[in-house]
Amino acid sequence: MRELTQTEAIDLVGRFEAEQEIPEQMRADVRMLGSLLGQVLRESGSPGLYDDVERLRIATIQAYTDETPEAFARAAAIADSFTVERADEVARAFTAYFHLVNLAEEHQRVRVLRERDGRPDRERATDSVAAAFMRLAAEVGDDTALARLQALRFHPVFTAHPTEARRRAVSTSIRRLAALLEEHDASLRNGADQRRAERRMLEEIDTLWRTAPLRPEKPSPTDEVRAVMAVFDDTLFTAIPHVYRRVDDALQGPAAGGRAPVVRPFVRVGSWVGGDRDGNPFVTASVTRTAAKIASEHVLLGLERAASRIGRTLTLDATTTPPSAALVALWQRLAAADDEAAAEIAKRSPNEPHRRIMLLLARKLTATRERDADLAYRDPEQFLADLRIVQDSLVRAGAARQAYGHLQQLLWQVETYGFHLTELEVRQHSAVHAKVLAELDAAGPRSEQTEEVLDVFRSIAFLQERYGPRAAGRYVVSFTQSADDLAAVHRLARYAAGPDGDVPVLDVVPLFETFADLQAAPRILAEIVQHPAFAERLTATGRRLEVMLGYSDSSKDVGPVAANLALYEAQAAIAAWAQEQGIELTLFHGRGGALGRGGGPANSAILAQPPHSVDGRFKLTEQGEVIFARYGDPAIAMRHIDQVAAAILLASSPSNEERNRAAAERYASVAATLDEASRARFFSLVKAPGFAPWFARVTPMEEVGLLALGSRPARRGLSVESLEDLRAIPWVFAWTQARINLAGWFGLGTALEAVGDEQLLQRAYDEWPLLRTLIDNVAMSLAKADDRIARHYLELGDRDDLAALVREEMSLTRSWVIRVTGGTELLGNKPVLQRAVKMRSPYVDALSLLQLRALRALRDTPEGAPVDPEQQRLLLLSVSGVAAGLQNTG
């Protein structure tokens, strides 16, 4: 097939872009950023690089649009023709391009959100908390709806699972580019120096190009803690109180800010970063203490700055805004403890009592951060009490706007974050506890592992004493298989405390992960609530109980379809048991970013939950690249939180619960068929003799383990002889890299075929939220897959039978998903998502072709011969680039 002329290439790219119907402003951003990257490549000092990148780009676009074997073969031949050094440069160029496209898409989302926020009907957005409140009130009445709003709880838990493929240095460069793109927009609006803005972007893109895309070594757990802190500093500290403010503005209208808010803080942020030691030997008790210390320093510094800022602006004269008696008494108490500072502040703020107080409170926060015992706050409740005295004094003096303005936002921040910022959770495997307890009960010498496990409990006690009981205390037990697994935690805590020590306050959280454990969950819970220590804590919390469900291992255990159905049934059974026992249940969803690990839109998943399984409370893990995608930009973070909170509020509405209950009953026989057929199909693949080594050969699974993604090891053993050896994250990540995405869809086609009735399935898709969510997620997973590229990966193995099985199921699933959703192609009913996938696909193809040539060379290395480090580097570069292009990895 001949190479296109320049005119033909320009026409091809123009037609491809036009077909995607990209918004004009976003199209302009992509073109500008792409043009600047092209200039950087031409100036890179590598002759011909830009031309080679363009050759491959045009070829993959032609292969994507023509869908002919000849066009695809030509693109593959171009990728194969490069030297390893040139292929390395081309892979880096495409990866940089994806970072820029992702930035342009994020910028467009922010642009749209801001335009919507500027309209007077903003509060009537159909998926906002305010809109959800109105809908709920129409069903249950204003008073009940308000009570539910004020009891609402959204609890994201950040984890450090190794799914964020890009370096922190790259992320930082992209954030700088985001700010420059904002400046560029402003220059277009205001007629300012547009060329200056573009010059600065060119400089930053050059920095991005020259920054090594691969980490030289794995990050330490402390590095991972600091990465999460960047999200807090940049967005969450201010974004979450702004969400509260927006909801209150919508509900109270013009009176908002002039009277007490009706909204109570409904977000709590948890973290496993520095606390999750299941399978990670690098997370020690010392690391856990360090993680809590870093988080506390960040939040105290944020609170200190906010208090100082409010103090500097609260220049209210005592004659117009007289202090209350309580405020005067507070000043006297603070001044007595910090007399020199009080005298200086009084001199600078004459007759401004509220300002004086706030400036002294800021000093107390500084003392708290620096561990100055004479001035430090004992706990956040003490600080909240002082702030409420200030707020009450302002209200009494008629300054309600000052009382419920920025001061109210500071109160919300303290109520949300305390002095600890994130509620640090510990996780450990039940088998580790059993081993340590056996050693302790034998009363022999204690091993290093035993001392470390006991030190974790001492660390929890220390953190609770220093930062308050909310700072730490949840203890998640992985692979909970019996009530004894949970009771073991309390026994270990007593061993750690010794005869005279204090046992920390512990909320022990069972984690049910495998299919069998999910089925056994109600029985295990019924047993554990009879345990004395567990029952005592249950009483102390007002019969509150948290239960965690694992999406990853259950999906790897029985396949994505059966796992989704099993998770629904487990939630329904646990929720029914909790209702009978009078227990306030919170289900903790261990979802990953990828669809094979429970990923996908959270709000639609929430609305598909069984009756009483949400009840105004929703907790989930946020992992890897998802953290930065959802919380990296303030506008997007606020929108995400607003959408999720709205779904939580509506999930327990009578209409939604009745819809889910009725659909589950109506389509029970369909569910049974889907479960049986999908599981049998999944087992025919993963239980086939030699499957695990074949999987390791046809995907870059082994090489993924070489990427310095996170501190946690990728697998449980030294080799992969069975699926049990492999963690769920690389299982999903490897299939994603091979453009097969098998973990997100395999078995659904056979399951839908087993039902066979197309009209019945279309009705079920319309009426049954669980099936709709499952099929929509599969559609996205398949849209990001590519049958042509997948075939080349599968050919790396020597099992034609397994390769044929995968390709047949992919084709069958694609066909049935399109028919059930009523379209002509995947994601036809979700045009915005479809556009985003199509826009990226040919560029991802280019990186996949480079990855394939590297993987083929590595697989052809004779046994015992040294691995070519250049080919290995090329493969790892392509892995990073494909992850950036597909935007969900593991």
Tokens of 167: 């370096």
Q: What are phi and psi of 427, to 5 degrees?
A: -130, 135
Tokens of 656: 């939604």
Give the long-range contacts of residues 634-639, CB within 8 A, separation 24 or more: 634/234, 634/235, 634/238, 634/239, 634/242, 635/109, 635/110, 635/113, 635/114, 636/106, 636/109, 636/110, 636/113, 637/235, 637/236, 637/239, 638/239, 638/242, 638/243, 638/246, 639/113
Which amino acid does the sequence have at 4? Answer: L
Of 744, 831, 849, 739, give the one whose Cα is nearest residue 794. Answer: 739
The helix (run of H) or strand (run of E) holding residue 588 is: strand 584-590
214 and 167 Cβ atoms separated by less than 8 Å? yes
For tokens 């967005």, name the residue. Answer: 235
Per-residue buried b or exposed e for 542-567, using 16+ beta carbons within 10 Å of the residue's own CB? eeebbbbbbbbbbbbbbbbbbbbbbb
Find the catalytic residue in 161, 433, 612, 784.
161
Q: What CA–CA distance (Å, rounded) separates 490 from 16?
A: 61
Over its C-alpha atoms, the chain yields an Rg (Å, rounded) of: 28
130 and 67 Cβ atoms separated by less than 8 Å? no
The two beta strands, 423-429 and 617-623, are unpaired
Q: Which residues contact 347 (CB under 8 A, 6 or more apart)?
A: none
The helix (run of H) or strand (run of E) holding residue 804 is: helix 800-821
Find the catalytic residue in 556, 589, 792, 838.
556
Question: 612 catalytic, yes or no?
Answer: no
Question: 556 catalytic, yes or no?
Answer: yes
Q: Which residues contact 393 (CB under 8 A, 6 or more apart)?
A: 323, 324, 326, 327, 353, 354
User: DSSP assignment of 598-613, as one string?
Assistant: T-S-HHHHHHTSPTTS
Q: Is the dihedral of CA 276, 277, 281, 284 positive or negative?
A: positive
106 and 178 Cβ atoms separated by less than 8 Å? yes
Alpha carbons within 13 angstroms on the beta-carbon side of residue 116 total 16
Count helices and strands in the chain by DSSP H and E runs: 40, 8
Which residues are designated catalytic? 161, 556
